Amino acid sequence: MRLKPKVNARPVRHGFPWVYASDLVTDRRTKALAPGRIALLEDSGREPLGLVAVNPGSKIIARMLDRDPSATIDRAWFAARLSRAFALRDRLFDAPFYRLIHAEADGLPGVIIDRFGDTCVIQPNAAWADALLPELAGALAEVTGVSTILKNASGRARGLEGLDEESGVLLGVAPDGPVPVPMNGATYMADLTGGQKTGLFYDQRPNHAFAASLVREGTAVLDVFSHVGGFGLAMLAAGAGTALAVDGSAPALELARAGAEASAMAARFDTRQGDAFDVLTALGEEGATFDVVICDPPAFAPSKQSLEAGLRAYERIARLAAPLVAEGGVLGLCSCSHAADLSKFRTACTRGIGRAGREGRLIHTGFAGPDHPQHPLLAESGYLKALFYAL
């Protein structure tokens, strides 16, 4: 595979991990390559740039795997990448509950692996990883020693790669029920086979911790888009008086209640199921107020095409949530939309707070934890933003 004559090869040489279809010489043979095929990438002068994984049906037609053109992408190769990632997490965490592989940033493009004690969940979101899944799973068991490996095939990314949605068990036996996960002093219950994504969102861990630092005796917390208890459980563990979790998913709220029970905090924890916009509106009409309000919605702007609509949604969330914050309280607003960069997201949130008639001081900006490293040349890997305003 070869870059077009006028395409600058410098970004790829300096570490950019993707090649777009518009930058590559494509002929009948290229378009006939099976998704996931490994190929040698050359610049326009036929100088080797490295081995890439190819998917002719994707806008990202090639993903850099190894800059050594003589490398062999096999189980040993996977083991080397996994060992490097494992060593970092072992330094960062004292318990085996974390994101082990964060795609391009850990040298495995399109691959997500979350670890839950003795179980790992793989999301092979790129065709090459799906094709080499047996080698990847074998190396994962070898490096980590886990007894169970699950494949999660849900998510928008696999659809963009033309992949199926068939999840399954790659090693061992699937857990019989939710898995307890200790984090920030609370116990979260993760459904590894039927829950959202891999079962739990580890990326918010440091933002949960910051929110917990805001707690004082009697603090009342509202956790909107709570999933399995996210911010609410962490803040209860820090001593909050009460926490109300709001989510549209009944199964997620059931897991949140189970987490509160496992954390011995059920008496201070309540849930409310419903559309978040509707619940925020209803709480405003009821005159409810809370010392800390957190809104952690799904990606409203997952692509450039949805950016403007997504920013309007973030602004609306801020406008509805701000009146629920008691005077001197804190509003936390989060985004996992990579298309909405920090500046645009902050502008939307600040505008929404102003439209609600409140004034806010931005006291903290948070990002994903260190088990979600950012690829320095790939803005998409720095998707998570969390803004905390004192109102």
Enter the pTM of the model.
0.94
Sign of the CA dihedral with 201 first, then 307, 333, and 362 last: positive
Q: Where are the alpha helices (DSSP H) in the chain?
A: 10-13, 28-32, 75-92, 127-131, 133-144, 156-160, 205-213, 230-237, 250-262, 276-286, 307-321, 342-355
3-state secondary structure (DSSP) of residue 127: helix
Sign of the CA dihedral with 266 first, then 270, 389, and 216 last: negative
| 221 contacts: CB under 8 Å, gap ≥ 6 | 215, 231, 232, 235, 236, 240, 242, 243, 244, 290, 291, 292, 293, 294
Quick one: 139 and 166 in the same domain? yes
Residue where the block lists tokens 């740039």: 49
> Of 171, 195, 214, which closes a domain?
171
Quick one: 241 and 282 in the same domain? yes
> Of 171, 204, 237, which closes a domain?
171
In a domain, 5, yes or no: no
- The number of folded domains in the chain is 3
Distances (CA, A) of 109 to 236, 251, 305, 347: 37, 31, 23, 31
In a domain, 220, yes or no: yes
The pLDDT, as a whole number, for residue 229 is 96
Task: Label the pairing between strands 18-20 and 385-390.
Answer: unpaired
Letter for the amino acid at 366?
G
CATH code of residue 241:
3.40.50.150
Burial 219-231 (b: 16+ CB within 10 A, else e): bbbbbbbbbbbbb
Quick one: 217 and 345 in the same domain? yes
Catalytic positions are 336
The pLDDT, as a whole number, for residue 14 is 94
Quick one: 257 and 313 in the same domain? yes
SS3 per residue for 8-72: CCHHHHCCCCEEEHHHECCCHHHHHCCCCEEEEEECCCCCEEEEEEECCCCCEEEEEEECCCCCC
The pLDDT, as a whole number, for residue 271 is 98
Quick one: 147 and 56 in the same domain? no
Quick one: 330 and 204 in the same domain? yes
Quick one: 349 and 378 in the same domain? yes
The pLDDT, as a whole number, for residue 32 is 85
The pLDDT, as a whole number, for residue 74 is 97
Tokens of 285: 């009409």
The pLDDT, as a whole number, for residue 302 is 86
Quick one: 50 and 110 in the same domain? no
Q: How far apart are CA 306 and CA 338, in angstroms?
A: 11
Backbone Cα Rg of the chain: 22
Quick one: 295 and 368 in the same domain? yes
CATH code of residue 53:
2.30.130.10
CATH code of residue 107:
3.30.750.80
The pLDDT, as a whole number, for residue 347 is 97
In a domain, 3, yes or no: no
In a domain, 187, yes or no: yes
Quick one: 280 and 138 in the same domain? no
In a domain, 193, yes or no: yes
Quick one: 238 and 123 in the same domain? no
The pLDDT, as a whole number, for residue 274 is 97
Q: CB 239: neighbour CB atoms within 10 A?
A: 14
In a domain, 121, yes or no: yes
In a domain, 344, yes or no: yes
User: Is residue 239 within 8 Å of residue 214, measured between CB atoms?
Assistant: no
Structural domain containing residue 60: 10-66
Quick one: 143 and 191 in the same domain? no
> Of 171, 188, 215, which closes a domain?
171
In a domain, 1, yes or no: no
DSSP conformation class of 338: T
One pLDDT digit (tens) per residue for the chain, 391 residues: 899 999 999 999 999 999 999 999 988 888 888 889 999 999 999 999 999 999 998 889 999 999 999 999 999 999 999 999 999 999 999 999 999 999 999 999 999 999 999 999 999 999 999 999 999 999 999 999 999 999 999 877 788 788 888 999 999 999 999 999 999 999 999 999 987 788 899 999 999 999 999 999 999 999 999 999 999 999 999 999 999 999 999 999 999 999 999 999 999 999 999 999 999 999 999 999 999 999 999 999 988 899 999 999 999 999 999 999 999 999 999 999 989 999 999 999 999 999 999 999 999 999 999 999 999 999 888 899 999 999 9
